[in-house]
Structure 1
């Protein structure tokens, strides 16, 4: 893997070559161009090849013009007979720098040799039968076809990542919290219980994810044929700001979904498990380079949605009688009491139940178990403990949507608001620059609200809808029970989505969930017929009661009332506290980032005309597109992007006194801008920042100055009147305090807040995404 170390600085060498007087390596420049193009999944190999030809043609024209001027200069000065002149003209000739990178095969070979690209390997799974036309007989005849999948070495991928000194330093410098606040896996009980991690505290910790994805038109006829199963991993040890990038999600395996259904997970995961067994051994795996020369890694968590997790772990689907992968609660018990929790599933219990199922398969329905999990052979991982509940699916694609729909049903049926009014307010609400991309669509209708509990919104839109809901209906009384249920849900989300939580926050969250479920049961489940609702198929995921039903609105014709069926995700919320104590904040494990990684395959599938072996083609594209990000010499935490800057002397600035207090010299040049993005967080005039997390105290940004990679914010403090529960936000008012200056890096929270106002009211509120407390 020495090539990866050598290629580490390849992309930045050319940027400084002219300034430092060094020779320019056109091959490396060409490589950086190809890597940049490959990061765009919409670019086909044919278009990239044409771009290469055009770039070389332009380089030839520039070279020809420059050579002509040099030759004319030598003629004018009678220097053509000089041997040095002849050598100079020879040196000016250029060869095609793209000659080694024309085809995808050449690119794979070149990047593997020069930059340590990890090339996927094709592995055999089994045989399947397909029918092919016999040209002589004109009859379709069965033939055996090998089932294969693409496997990417996790050892080589980790070695390549560690070849980047900055990423390696971040991994090795990770430390546990000392103030009792849970910020990462290191602060959870699972880390403390692991003898392996205690022995090797800097061992790389792996999060594994898998899911199915469609790479063709979902409305077309090839949807099931080309459905793929993707297995990814991410490194826990890296800071959240680095892991927020899609390039931090790495491919492990890619296969046809149907092949996995037939051959099982064991063969697909065998290469990964084999490497992890070596990586989690005491000796580890020797790698070239500086200390540490031993690579150690272990699987700590499985991050999947409910259906995928059950399938891999070896449990029956979420529609089974025992639907929970954490406890043994049955569906009738759950329906009788939403706050009930069953006996905790343990590794010993799982093995005992599995043995009984082997002897009597009919007991599979009784225990909800069907087969063993192939990952349980690893040292640190336990399928009954380390399968993380995905808050993205549990809340934003599940319980949160139910609460929003049921609350709207109640308000509409009582004529507190109409659908048209909600749509109009959603459209005209002033979201601010921080949330405008998450603006909910104004597509609500009576039919969808009264018949379904799934909103036609993305997860981020649902989250934004939840946060602004109170601002859209300020006329609803504060003591309304349906509004209270929604407010409880908002407060739960404040804690669940936090990147750092205290033990007291976890305790409070569990109390809120208990109160939330009790109120839900009081409002919607009083007439639930347990016997009728207890009929479920043992392994039918479609019977997972995702939809909550309620009486229809009179405007849609009077119909008999329907019972409300609570979904599994309400029960899964009861396990949030336990999982946070074990693994740290759950937002570090949510699947939204992994599922967003599917886009590279979906986009490439839309432009790729070759579907002979999609896993092979797309795995290769994924690896090349990721290489450029691994070789980057700047971290996301170092990214500062500004727009429309104006350079002035510090002493000529309006706030020169404040800047000089921060150590900026009067004769130094500073840049003034209205908008700056630091590590993905936007700072702009008119947005609010958190000045003091104890009160909390906020201030509005008046001016932004940039100086030597530092961002200075001139802020006008506002008065905090208190937290208003119905809006789940802090009410603020302007104060008479003088403006002050703060360094962006010194803020206790780097989030900015847009001022929100209730419909037709003048009060100003700041609605945080997560809880605020002193740190």
Structure 2
């Protein structure tokens, strides 16, 4: 069984309102603060805004990731939020959510539709603020919002199992807070106003921050990968920082990799790149300097780096099986143990503690990539641009909200979502007789009508860009993976087909890459929806070998 979206997680399946009223909507909120002026200028923090956005779990994932589909719920100056507190700032939002839970709204067909909050996304700091948890991760005794681990126990045994946070023990902590003079009990400093909702509780409704500078790419990956690179350079002398940076600069990045080219890696410092840049560096590191690693199979630091890479591939998979979740749990436990034992002088951080929670969180929320926070952060750019153009900071939140709603009115006057297929490259009529015999046979066997069919050089399908020359996964088992190189892209009657040049592959365990064999004699014409994995992967040349680095794990 595969988990493919948030609706497959136990969080949605166990929701009482959604069970009782299947037509109800699943609300997903996101909150974050952002600067509208230069963070280095004199006006920093003065106009900082706390934004709350909303999307629906019923929207397909590729449409949900579009910023135009994200609706604004509220804008508030962060200074006002700190002055008046949660209860007053979120009072109207809580009232609306309760009304949607209990009464609902009248739909166009005359039926009453209810809605329920299933997840409140945000960074670690923001999520702890919303949940009433302590926001001091460096000093507080209890720093986890998922379990009752304490700092001393985590330092002694990073893999120690601790009781999960539940609505009951959360309530017990609140009662102790109200009857004693303690300011924090079990990492809880106040009762969250969102716990007043009937079918939501912060102990089960705050997903991990997968994207931004908190858990993964700008957290564990940024800190640990820089540590491994520093060890390979300074201690084991496999290469130098200049060689690594020169290799990155000269490497011919293709496709989406070219948009997230890693930044310079500096001596003894954390990776300074964005989440996308750190992801690219981790994925392509074997291509940059893999050939310089002496005895890569026996090198413990290099193998630890590849293990981190495998974990990231599994965590970021858009669909994942229960077997892969069990495997992810084992991988994370091995990784934490090795990281702790190999670098005892480099203490593990609270971000490392969140990793062992990921398998259970995937079962609870569904694939975590569908709760990716970076897409919500992209929504900030509209308000930042708007604030710089209006040149007026009087009642700025009202101005931005009105401008945004006018834009939404304009967008909703047309198509709610972008078309499924968007041809962005050169398009020509498909003339069957002009193609080689392999392509002709593949199209004929696929029983695809040639009427009004176009051969295009590039296309965007459900938000993903495909170009000729990229490869896709055709078949995947524990023993082998078969790739298909896109040689022809065909569009016919709102359907997208690829003619693929099939390649068997061999996994290079010392590099974590897949090496493609010479093409087989077979070509295949497939509908894009029938592919095992839809993501297009750039094909790279390494020492006269064609290799690919997976963007995420593929579940069979």
Q: Same fold (TM over 0.5)?
A: yes
Tell me whether 1:311 sits opposite 2:129 in the alignment.
Answer: yes
Give the SS at the match of 2:141.
Answer: coil
Give the superposition deviation at 1:575: 0.9
Q: Is the CA contact (8 Å cut-off) linking 2:117 and 2:200 kept in structure 1? A: yes
Q: Is the CA contact (8 Å cut-off) linking 2:4 and 2:319 kept in structure 1? A: yes
Give the SS at the match of 2:312.
Answer: helix
Which residue number in structure 2 is paired with residue 217 of structure 1?
38
Post-superposition CA distance 1:30-54 (Å, at most 9, x none): xxxxxxxxxxxxxxxxxxxxxxxxx
Which residue number in structure 2 is paired with residue 750 of structure 1?
534
Give the superposition deviation at 1:607: 1.9
Among 312, 332, 337, the residue aligned to 2:157: 337
Structure whose alpha-carbon radius of gyration is higher: 1
Tell me whether 1:480 sits opposite 2:262 in the alignment.
Answer: no
Tell me the matched-pair count. Answer: 544
Q: Is the CA contact (8 Å cut-off) linking 1:650 and 1:669 kept in structure 2? A: no
Which residue number in structure 2 is paired with residue 517 of structure 1?
336
Which residue number in structure 2 is paired with residue 611 of structure 1?
393
Which residue number in structure 1 is paired with residue 367 of structure 2?
585
Which residue number in structure 1 is paired with residue 285 of structure 2?
469
Which range moved further: 226-235 or 643-652?
643-652
Tell me whether 1:258 sits opposite 2:79 in the alignment.
Answer: yes
Post-superposition CA distance 1:462-496 (Å, at most 9, x none): 11111011222222122211111111111111111
Give the superposition deviation at 1:660: 4.3
Among 484, 488, 503, the residue aligned to 1:718: 503
CA distance in 2, matches of 1:689, 1:257: 45
Give the superposition deviation at 1:513: 0.7
CA distance in 2, matches of 1:625, 1:294: 28
Post-superposition CA distance 1:710-732 (Å, at most 9, x none): 333222111222x3334333221
CA distance in 2, matches of 1:698, 1:610: 54
CA distance in 1, matches of 2:113, 2:540: 50
Which residue number in structure 2 is paired with residue 31 of structure 1?
none
Among 239, 244, 250, the residue aligned to 1:428: 250
Give the SS at the match of 1:264.
Answer: helix
Post-superposition CA distance 1:658-699 (Å, at most 9, x none): 444444556x44433322222222222221122223442112
Give the SS at the match of 1:718.
Answer: strand
RMSD: 1.9
CA distance in 1, matches of 2:392, 2:476: 55
Which residue number in structure 2 is paired with residue 623 of structure 1?
405
Q: Is the CA contact (8 Å cut-off) linking 2:452 and 2:493 kept in structure 1? A: no
CA distance 1:657–1:495, shift in 2 (3 Å): closer
Tell me whether 1:419 sits opposite 2:241 in the alignment.
Answer: yes
Tell me whether 1:503 sits opposite 2:286 in the alignment.
Answer: no
CA distance in 2, matches of 1:240, 1:479: 41
Among 170, 173, 190, the residue aligned to 1:353: 173
CA distance in 1, matches of 2:391, 2:289: 50
Give the superposition deviation at 1:389: 0.8
Give the superposition deviation at 1:617: 0.6
CA distance in 2, matches of 1:306, 1:324: 10
Post-superposition CA distance 1:592-625 (Å, at most 9, x none): 1111111111111222210011101111112222
Give the superposition deviation at 1:425: 0.9
Which residue number in structure 1 is paired with residue 457 of structure 2?
674
Which range moved further: 190-199 or 302-311?
190-199
CA distance in 1, matches of 2:91, 2:304: 47
Q: Is the CA contact (8 Å cut-off) linking 1:638 and 1:679 kept in structure 2? A: yes
Any residues of structure 2 matched to 1:233-248 within 5 Å, and which?
Answer: 233-248=54-69
Among 86, 111, 115, the residue aligned to 1:297: 115
Any residues of structure 2 matched to 1:680-691 within 5 Å, and which?
Answer: 680-691=463-474
Give the superposition deviation at 1:569: 0.5
Q: Which runs of 5+ in 1 are unaligned?
A: 1-179, 526-562
CA distance in 2, matches of 1:626, 1:341: 47
Compute the TM-score of the two structures, normalised by the length of structure 1: 0.68
Compute the TM-score of the two structures, normalised by the length of structure 2: 0.93
Q: Which runs of 5+ in 2 are unaligned?
A: none
